[in-house]
Structure 1
Amino acid sequence: MGDLSRQRDYIAECINVITPKYQYKVHNSNRGPKHSFSFEINNIKHRICKTFFKNTLAINNRPIATVTAKKNQAGTIEEEKRGKHGKQYKISSDIIKGIKNHIDSIPRIESHYVRQQTTREFIDGGKNLTDLYTDYQTQCLSDGVEAAKIHTYGKVFNEDYNIGFHTPKKDQCELCISFKNAVDKTIELQNRYDQHQLEKELCRQEKSNDKTMVKENYIVACYDLQAVLPLPKGDVSTLYYKCKLNICNFTINVLAKDYCDCFVWSEVEALRGANEIATCVWKYLTKRASEINDNNLRITFYSDNCCGQQKNKFMFFIYLYALSVLKIKSITHKYLISGHTQNENDSVHSVIEKAVKMYLRSGPVYTPDQYVTIIRTARKKGNPYNVTEMCYSDFVDIKNLTEICGAQFSKNTEGRTVKMSDTKIMKFEKHQDFDHVSIYYKTSYTDTDFKEIQFRNNRSSRTRTSTDLQDFQLKPLYQSRLKLSDRKNSDLKSLINSNIIPQSYALSYYNSILF
């Protein structure tokens, strides 16, 4: 019982006044009446001692004294009057509005580590709640208005908003956490967990085995998109409350070869969807096929299971197109198990983030060129990261390729439905006659044999051949730079007008992207 009135009613029912048979009253005596204590079990009252009563209900003498003092002759408890005087201090609606305006002014960011849809919003983890309140106080002081107390600010922040501070960390596996916290582990949950752990170990072993097989005409690489790099970036408090330009960095790390390619672009050049990722992979395949120049070149990629970026038909078609026009024998894509997608790219991204922090000691980062320099010089030992600066004209439209082919990957050669979300390995292989590409898949790392996908064109009864794709020319995805949002454009202009962004950088870069 969480209600105080009901608790007191229950205690009152368990306490009875004892009226002695003989009573000798002493003048001016403070002695009160005696009480008996009992618990009702199956409509039968069992008398107990006071100590047993208190220990059972985990109370002391105070609640008992309160109940006996407030109990009237009718046996009811007097109503609780605390907090009902109507003179409570009420916070002005203007103060609450000022708090909300300050919280709303903080730019939200997308969490690279939260893959699934969520209503939770994220703000930069460079500040905590106390820092935000300090900035709020400073703003109120400059505006000449009353500031709320920190507990009021925190209450509005936590109860009226669903906001988290974004601090990059390794993904946690939903199934593993669910199994760990489950009180009653059902047979179904246990079997799912055991299979999940088996897939995880087999996937890691598969990657380890592939690394040992690397040679001149066999490449094993993993790729991933780094969390966005904000621009400008610095320790100036004003920057925290302004929308910034997002810089993307897509990395392809060659395993066992100490070699990493980075593709860098800003949000005015391109978005971060399947077309953009496929373009970077296409450029990488073109470069490596030209360097190695071997028709028996085999490539294996590892990545996470993000359907919007890696596990989709756009990536599959760029693999098919690459096999058709480049000197590549096969491309295999192996997907890391969800929740356990840690890979060698995490180390690359960590090195870059540390290099950015070191650079900020000497001053802010204002332009994409500075990020490019930081990435190029981030690695102190081994081969430096190879950086390709991407322009809007570099990105190609893979959707146009899928429309031309019009093919589906929904059935295998046995007529069974292929559920892409369940696939663990996709293999695209060119036949010896160089006129046909077959697509194979596995739904588990425990599978010994591949199954073949019935890759057919919707617009004809025949299978589209490699020769057909050789005649196709990829078209540009964008005709010009992308337009910034109104708020982001306004915030960047205000940073220039207040000289937070120096005029030299405004003239050399920002004036060309703002409107």
Structure 2
Amino acid sequence: MYEKIFYSKLNLGLKPPHKDTCKLCDTLAVKIRATEAEPDSEQKVACLSSLKTDTELHHRRVELARTSMLNDKKAAIEGKCSVLTFDLQKTIMLPKVPTGVVYYKRQLACYNLGIHNCATSKGTMHLWHEGVAGQGPDEIGSCLLKYLSTFPSMERLVLWSDSCGGQNRNIKLVVLLMCLVSDPSCSIKEVTQKFAIPGHSYLPNDSDFGHIEKKMMKQQHIFTLDEVKNIIETCRVKKEAFDVMIMKSSDFYRSNEITHAITNRKQHDGKKVSWLNIRVLRVSREKPFVMEYKYSHNEDIQFEEVSFAKRLKGIQTPLHKLVLKQTQPKPIKDVKKKDIESMLPFVPPVYHTFYHSILAATTQTASTLCATREISNQENEPNESNTINCLQSCAEDPSVPTETEDREEYWDSEQFEENADDDPTWERKN
């Protein structure tokens, strides 16, 4: 009744408050309001002019990125190239039950990477839990490789994503794309990856995830990954249903062998390669080991180049001939295991096997990793007694924020870039 009166008779609309707004837009808006409240002076006029100029430039960059995405979508529909957008959905926690004490427990984290084909408007979801793998660049790249091996692409591929440095904009994902285009058996000869402006990354995946989360909100109980898969497959009624792939440990690969075969150069012709400011990058079969990049979505701006090839005598081994090793299941911490076990009384017994199998597998993986590291320590230091507890080697890196802290700024920070660049074996830890 109220909705009918407001919408039809009073011509009014109800709009929910904005959320996930742009950090730069909010900062500039606060500064402009604060400056306008100051007494009139020449300094105030100059400061206001500078702030409004910065705001206008930022909005122009946002509009340029949107125009570029629309042009890519149009090219995909016309069959000129393949265009995919990908994003990671908000973490899904299992089990989902209304019991109040569960809110304070450490639940099993499930991840869903959505890949949206702009030519067909078809969404494909890649689903796994933290006992299988994490959510770093290797996992993102593995999902892309899985998708491209299942759904063939044209010779030119364009990828759109947000600007998260820890997942989408880093050397590990770039070398995986280099490995892809260097393979003569692959139909893809060129991959262009574009990044949306932070705070304005309105990708088609957001709409796809909205359908999923809307149906999940209506489910009071969700216990297993298969139930999540069923929700995703049936969440859309009027549009084509999503395809869902359950990712296994054998589907995930490590990029360490490839990153060891290259040199991650941070400078080119005396200029620093600023990963945090890259808006477009490109790799191609014609230029192996070369990453082309630029700091704007403007088509008129030329690409700069940086070569990651090692300075060796003779011909360097092509990347596609290097063997990608599979990742091992990720061990779950003991404190989380205890919390998961304590929540089983709220889960029907028929679903206990799902959780017991995960806990048993991760326990075996942790024991194997500890034994391997203990043997390695004994080989490296044969004359010294190794009294280090192996479980401590699986602890979190103290430089990484804890789970209760906001990690987004860390993954986009220079600290992550330096760690990932200086040590190719350095991997994001949860």
Residue 422 (structure 1) aligns with = 277
Residue 277 (structure 1) aligns with = 140
Residue 511 (structure 1) aligns with = 356
Equivalent residue runs for 1:248-397 within 5 Å? 248-288=111-151, 291-292=152-153, 297-325=155-183, 326-360=186-220, 364-397=221-254
- The alignment-based identity, stated in percent, is 28
**After superposition, what is the alpha-carbon deviation per residue over 1:317-343, rounded to whole angstroms, capped at 9, x for unaligned?**
011001011211211111101111121
Q: What is the deviation of 1:462? A: 7.2
Q: Which residue, out of 204, 213, 216, partners 2:66?
A: 204
Structure 2 CA distance, aligned partners of 1:253 and 1:205? 18
Structure 2 CA distance, aligned partners of 1:451 and 1:514? 48
Residue 406 (structure 1) aligns with = 262
Cα RMSD of the aligned pairs, angstroms, is 2.2
In the alignment, is residue 171 of structure 1 matched against residue 9 of structure 2? no
Residue 391 (structure 2) aligns with = none
Return closer, same or farther for 1:426/1:458 CA change in 2, 3 Å cut-off: same
Preserved contact between residue 73 and residue 119 of structure 2 (Cα < 8 Å): yes
Residue 101 (structure 1) aligns with = none
**After superposition, what is the alpha-carbon deviation per residue over 1:268-288, rounded to whole angstroms, capped at 9, x for unaligned?**
011111111111112122223
Residue 454 (structure 1) aligns with = 306
SS of the residue 2:238 aligns to:
coil
**After superposition, what is the alpha-carbon deviation per residue over 1:9-60, rounded to whole angstroms, capped at 9, x for unaligned?**
xxxxxxxxxxxxxxxxxxxxxxxxxxxxxxxxxxxxxxxxxxxxxxxxxxxx
Residue 390 (structure 2) aligns with = none
**After superposition, what is the alpha-carbon deviation per residue over 1:452-506, rounded to whole angstroms, capped at 9, x for unaligned?**
3231423526785xx612321211111xx3322222211221222xx31111111
Q: What is the deviation of 1:437? A: 5.9
Q: Which residue, out of 312, 315, 325, partners 1:475?
A: 325
Preserved contact between residue 440 and residue 450 of structure 1 (Cα < 8 Å): no
Preserved contact between residue 457 and residue 463 of structure 1 (Cα < 8 Å): no
Letter in 1 for 2:341: K
Q: What is the deviation of 1:170? A: 4.0
Preserved contact between residue 223 and residue 253 of structure 1 (Cα < 8 Å): yes
Residue 424 (structure 2) aligns with = none
Indicate the structure whose relative CO is greater, using CA pairs within 8 Å and at least 6 residues apart.
2
Letter in 2 for 1:476: Q
Say which is worse superposed, 391-400 or 314-323, in terms of deviation.
Answer: 391-400
**After superposition, what is the alpha-carbon deviation per residue over 1:212-248, rounded to whole angstroms, capped at 9, x for unaligned?**
1114461112111001111000222232232210110
Q: What is the deviation of 1:188? A: 4.2
Q: Which residue, out of 94, 112, 124, partners 1:231?
A: 94
In the alignment, is residue 443 of structure 1 matched against residue 295 of structure 2? yes
Structure 2 CA distance, aligned partners of 1:371 and 1:260? 16
Q: What is the deviation of 1:169? A: 7.2
Return closer, same or farther for 1:438/1:449 CA change in 2, 3 Å cut-off: farther
**After superposition, what is the alpha-carbon deviation per residue over 1:421-466, rounded to whole angstroms, capped at 9, x for unaligned?**
11111111222xxx746432121123613223231423526785xx
Task: Show structure 2 runs of 5+ residues with no match.
Answer: 1-16, 36-46, 361-430
Structure 2 CA distance, aligned partners of 1:357 and 1:169? 20
SS of the residue 2:82 aligns to:
strand
Residue 45 (structure 1) aligns with = none
Letter in 1 for 2:173: M
Letter in 1 for 2:131: V
Task: Show structure 1 runs of 5+ residues with no match.
Answer: 1-167
Structure 1 CA distance, aligned partners of 2:203 and 2:219? 26
Structure 2 CA distance, aligned partners of 1:216 and 1:208? 14
How many residues are treated as equivalent by the alignment?
A: 328
Preserved contact between residue 302 and residue 336 of structure 1 (Cα < 8 Å): yes
Preserved contact between residue 285 and residue 322 of structure 1 (Cα < 8 Å): no
Structure 1 CA distance, aligned partners of 2:51 and 2:20? 21
Letter in 2 for 1:422: N
SS of the residue 2:331 aligns to:
coil
Preserved contact between residue 232 and residue 244 of structure 1 (Cα < 8 Å): yes
Structure 2 CA distance, aligned partners of 1:379 and 1:218? 27
Return closer, same or farther for 1:487/1:254 CA change in 2, 3 Å cut-off: same
**After superposition, what is the alpha-carbon deviation per residue over 1:293-331, rounded to whole angstroms, capped at 9, x for unaligned?**
x5xx21111111110000000111011001011211211
Structure 2 CA distance, aligned partners of 1:378 and 1:340? 26
Preserved contact between residue 171 and residue 340 of structure 1 (Cα < 8 Å): no
SS of the residue 1:308 aligns to:
coil
Preserved contact between residue 178 and residue 288 of structure 2 (Cα < 8 Å): no
Q: What is the deviation of 1:195? A: 1.7
Structure 2 CA distance, aligned partners of 1:358 and 1:400? 45
Normalised by the length of structure 1, the TM-score is 0.60
